Structure 1
């Protein structure tokens, strides 16, 4: 069994287990394609298999795991086509968030985006891709919130969670972290001055996976 993360709740319910496993998948403790063992998880969480089963069902509905009859439950591993399709949709959703943020963001919301960007700058200066990955997530979520559209924010958050394991891999490609940081600066600058077209274009280019970036991501997923 893998090392047990610190801070597991005592006598957790299915919702707490689902959240913990979601974090484990997003943070890379369980890799795409990896099989999840309900018995081992029940031991790890010190609970019966019932809340584990309920948590896995919830994760299946969110798209983070797949249940294969007679084989078990596996962390979702997207095919090249599925990955491409989801990144295309993610790029459009985030571009819409950035466009709306450029026209609707309050001073407080812009301040949150700036704070998130400062944290990204700090993480990048250390060369720590894991730290940057966490701050990068905060930056994007600050843009979602600044869109002023709660439904759009929810859809962006849902797809972001599904793609996090793959976006994390991207940041481990040499030079990608610094390029990502430059792209953040362009997005933030456009939002600050109310440039809706510039914000949308900059965010779309930041998220979409094409050309060399696509080949680098696919290469990083190979065993």
Structure 2
């Protein structure tokens, strides 16, 4: 018995040593991939955080239209390397918040009030179409998904957390884009949503805007769940559209933030 056991043990030992380089290679590749993936995830989160912080400073007028954003200076200010700063600037450039110019690098974009008004008008129509299509085709599973997105907004509102509310509010709108089941429409809506991101975030700083935003979401949701495409479109169009006093208040807030900066 002992001889047989030693024989089997010897065969196993021989196999291990024979294939040891392969085993080491597999372990190395696996751990390396996990490490790279972890670094990638951490890097993505850092660049997104930096994008938001740079975006905040643009909104509040610290970085004014036409101002050059130097990667080295930003890296020193935020205490990070240039790589996540560069990634954050690329994200901002993709949404039009900044422009990448030859020999100047990243420059804060200038958006005229008339142009901003036009963008909000188009955003309102794109989202109205999304709401209408969603109301026509929504399934039971999608109903639950949309209700869950709405409840996340309610939680943030109850906690009086505007930063979280902004994120879950954005997710609620993106859910509507996806549930429209029109890929091209969803792409266009998402692209313009990203372009308007700094201004829509700024809106939530208006007194009472967070609560009114949630109330408007409730009306949109009610119309969709009732299978009312026209009602859903009207509610969402009204929710997004910046006309009259609402637009004047937004411009005033932009000016006041810039003056404080």
Distance 2:179 2:129 in 1: 11
Distance 1:66 1:94 in 2: 26
Superposition pairs of residues 17-56 of structure 1, within 5 angstroms: 21-25=50-54, 28-31=56-59, 34=63, 35-41=68-74, 44-47=79-82, 56=89
Superposed CA RMSD in Å reads 2.9
Q: Which structure would you say has the larger Rg?
A: 2
* Residue 99 of structure 1, CA deviation: 0.5
Superposition pairs of residues 98-117 of structure 1, within 5 angstroms: 98-117=131-150
Are the structure 2 counterparts of residues 151 and 25 from structure 1 closer, same or farther at C-alpha, using a change threshold of 3 Å?
Answer: farther
Distance 2:97 2:150 in 1: 28
SS at match of 1:83: helix
1:66 and 2:107 matched: no
With the length of structure 1 as denominator, give the TM-score of the two structures.
0.81
Distance 2:80 2:157 in 1: 34
- 119, 137, 144: which one pairs with 1:86? 119
The structure whose residues are more often helix, as a share, is 2
> CA offsets, 1:163-188, max 9 Å, x none?
11101111111111111111101100
Gaps (5+ residues) in structure 1?
1-8
1:187 and 2:220 matched: yes
Aligned length: 212
Gaps (5+ residues) in structure 2?
1-37
Does structure 2 conserve the Cα–Cα contact (< 8 Å) formed by 1:32 and 1:75? no
**Residue of structure 2 equivalent to 1:76:** 109
SS at match of 2:59: coil
With the length of structure 2 as denominator, give the TM-score of the two structures.
0.70
1:136 and 2:169 matched: yes
> CA offsets, 1:119-145, max 9 Å, x none?
111211232222211111111111111
**Residue of structure 2 equivalent to 1:6:** none
